[in-house]
Chains A and B, each alone.
Chain A
C-alpha cells in the first residue's frame, strides 16, 4: 500500500506559498508602517534562504557559492529596510544642488 508523505521539497513549496499569500494579504490590507516593512524584509530573506538551500541545493554545496548566495538575501532585505527607514537622509545625500 502506498503511503502519502511530504518530502522536504513539498514542504518547502507549501511554506513558500503560504508566505507569498501572506505578503499579498499585506499588500491589500496593511497600511504603510516600518514594522510591516520589517516583516516583509524578513519574509524576503526567509523565502530566498528556502529556495537557495532546498531548491537550488546549496545547503551542502560549495561553501563560497553558498555564502555569496545567502549573503545576497541578507544584504538586499537589509538595504530595503534601511533605505526605507532613512529615506530622507538618502534623498538629501544624493541630491545634486
Chain B
C-alpha cells in the first residue's frame, strides 16, 4: 500500500478517494495534449483579435449583427457544452474511484451533448439561411461563421476522441490505475468548452 492510499485526497468535490489524482502538482494528462491545447487557444485568440479589429472598423454591423442571431440556439449550445464539461469531470471522478461503468455512462452523456451541440448548430445555420443570414452578408456574419464553424469542427473531432475513450474504458485499458490518456482527452474537451465561453458572449450578447 502506498502513502497515497493512507492519506485520502479530497477529489474535486467528489469526496475522499484512496488514490491521489495524477493532476496534483503535475501536468494533467500528458505534455503533448497541452501543446495541442495551447496551440488551439492561440488559434482562437487570433480569431478574437480579428473580431476586435473588425468590430472597431464596422461598429454598426457588429451592433446590429447579434440582434438578428438566434440567441436561443446560442444559449442552448452554451448549456449543452458546459453540461458536457461537467459530464467529463464526473467521468474522471468515476474512473478514479474505480467505477468504470459509471465512467462510461458519463462519457456517453458527453457524447450525446456533443452530438446535440452539432444538431443545434446545424438547425441554427438553417435558421440563419432562411432569415437571409449568410457568411457574406456583412463582416459581422463573416466573423460569426468563421469562428463558430471552426469551433464546430473542434466539437466534432473531440467527440470522436470521447468515443475512443468509451471504447478504451469498456475494454479495461483505461482504469483506476491507468487513465492519464483519459485525463488528456478530458482536458481537450474542457478547452473546447472554454473557447465557447468566450465566443458566446462575443457573438450573441455584446453589441
Q: Which residues of A contact B (CB under 8 A)?
A: 7-13, 16-17, 20-21, 23-24, 26-28, 32, 36-37, 40, 43-44, 47-48, 51-52, 54-58, 60-63, 65, 68, 72-73, 76-77, 79-80, 83-84, 87-88, 90-91, 94-95
Contact = CB atoms under 8 A, between A and B. Distances in A.
A57 B21 contact: yes
Nearest to B34: A65
A27 B71 contact: yes
Nearest to B52: A83
A47 B57 CA distance: 29
Interface stretch (B10-18, B124-132, B167-175): B10-18
A70 B202 CA distance: 19
A24 B41 CA distance: 24
Contact of A43 (B52, B89, B186, B201): B201
B interface secondary structure, majority: helix
B194 interface: yes
Contacts of A94: 53, 56-57
Interface of B: 12-15, 21, 23-28, 34, 38, 41, 45, 48, 52-53, 55-57, 59, 63, 66, 71, 74-75, 78-79, 82-83, 85-86, 88-90, 92-93, 186-187, 190, 193-194, 197-198, 200-202, 204-207
A interface secondary structure, majority: helix
Contacts of A56: 28, 186-187, 190
Given A7-B13, A16-B82, A27 B204 contact: yes
